[in-house]
Structure 1
Amino acid sequence: MSDIVVLSGSPSEFSRSDSVLKYLGTLLKREHFTVTHISIKDLPHEDIFQGKFDSPAIQDIARLIQNAKGFIVGSPVYKGAYSGVLKALLDIFPQDVLKHTPVLPIMTGGSPSHLLAIEYTLKPVLATLKGHNLKGLYLLDSQIDKYKEQPIIDDDILHRTKKQLQYFIEIVNNQASHVV
C-alpha cells in the first residue's frame, strides 16, 4: 500500500505539471511517506478510451487510490479545463474512489486567466468521486523550470506550494490517526 498516490494528467513527455508533481513526491518521501507516482501517459490507452472500468490495470489503479491515505492530482490547463485524457480516466473510476481521502489538486497554465479552471473543472469532478478537496495550487508555466530538480523557480509560489503541502500532510496524518 502506498501512503500517497500522485497522478499526473499530462499526456506530454516533458511536462511542467509532471515535474511539479514529482517534486512534491520527493518532498513527501522526505517526510517518510511512501509515494506512488502514476502518469496518464503510462496507462493502457485502449482501456481509458474504451471506458474499460473492469480492466485489470484500471482496477489496480483504483484500488491503489482507494487504499491511499492521500491523493495528489495534477494537470495542465487545456482549453480552460484539465486534460481530456485525465477526464477519461476519472470517468471510469468507481464513484467513491476518493471517499474520505484528502485530495490536493494542482494545475499549471500559461496565463493567470485560467486560474479558476481548478475551481470550476477539476475540483468538482474530484468532489463527485467523494474526495476531500484542499484549496489546491495553480502555477504559471513561467514559474516552473521543468528541467530543474526543484522545478518551482518563483520563491513566493514555492513558499505557497510548501505551505499547501504541509497542510495536506497535516490532514493526512490527522485523518490516519482517527482510523480505527
Structure 2
Amino acid sequence: MATVLSVSGSPSATSRTARLLRRLDARLTAQGHDVIPLDVRTVPAAALLGADVEHPAIVEVGELFARAEGVVVGTPVYKAAYSGLLKSLLDLLPQYALAGKTVLPLATGGTTAHVLAIDYALRPVLTSMGAAHVVQGWFTLDKDITVGEDGALTVALHAAEALEQVVDRFSATLDRTALLAAAG
C-alpha cells in the first residue's frame, strides 16, 4: 500500500479541518495505507515567513513530501482561497514536489460560495507542482462539522458519506498506481 502525507493547512489549533483530516487518515490507514499527518501550523513560523528553505523543519517537510506516493491537502477557505499558511509552505517546496504523486484536495468553509476554491485556487497550484493526478476534491461546509466539548468530531451524515466516497476513490487510485508501477 501507499505512503500518504496528510497535510492540514489550518492555522487553528482547534481546527475542524485538521480534525476532519485525521478522521479521513484513519479511514486510509484502515485500508492499508501508511498515513503521515502534517499540521503546517506546527512548522516554525520564522522558517515559513522567512522563506528559510534550509531550516531543518522545512527540510524535513520536503523529505515527507518526497517519501509520499499520495498527498491529501486540506485547508479552510478564507476569502475564496486556501489558507495563507498552506500557501507559505507550498511556496517553499521544490517546484515539482508533487511530481508523480496522486493528490486529494479537500476544503472546508462557511458557505457554498467558496466551493470553487478547490478547482480555481488550489488545483492549479497542485498541478503546477507536478502532481501526476489530482483526484476530484471535496468541499465540506463548516455547519456539517461539529466538535463536542469532549473533542469528539461529528460530521453530518450526507457530508460523511460523500467524504468517504472521495477518500475511497483516492485510495483506489493509489492502489491502481502501485499496481501499474509494480508491473512496469
Q: Which of the five TM-score ranges fits, normalised by the shorter chain?
A: over 0.9
Mapping of residues 6-155 of structure 1, within 5 Å: 6-131=6-131, 132-147=133-148, 149-153=152-156, 155=157
Structure 2 segments unaligned to the other structure (5+ residues): none
Please report how far the alpha carbon of residue 146 of structure 1 lies from its aligned counterpart in structure 2 after TM superposition: 3.0
After superposition, the C-alpha distances for 1:57-81 in whole angstroms (9 at most, x for unaligned) are 1122112112212100111011110
CA contact (8 A) 1:23 1:151 kept: no
Inter-partner Cα distance in structure 2 for 1:80 and 1:99 = 26
1:146 to 1:126, Cα distance in 2 relative to 1, 3 A: farther
User: For the aligned residues, what is the CA RMSD?
Assistant: 1.4
Structure 1 window deviating more from structure 2 (136-145 vs 28-37): it is 28-37
Query: Structure 1 or 2: larger strand share?
Result: 2
Equivalent residue for 2:179? Answer: 177
Distance 2:126 2:155 in 1: 25
Deviation sequence 1:103-124 (CA, Å, 0-9, x none): 1100000001111011111111
Partner of 1:29: helix, strand, or coil?
A: helix
Identity %: 33
Would you say the 8 A contact 1:95–1:129 is kept in 2? yes
Does the 8 Å CA contact 1:20/1:151 hold for their aligned counterparts?
no
CA apart distance, 1:130: 0.9
Instruction: Look up the equivalent residue of 2:35 and give its one-letter code.
Output: V
Alignment TM-score, normalising by the size of structure 1: 0.94
CA distance in 2, matches of 1:146, 1:7: 20
Deviations 1:127-175 (A, max 9, x none): 111112111010000111134645322x222111111111101111111
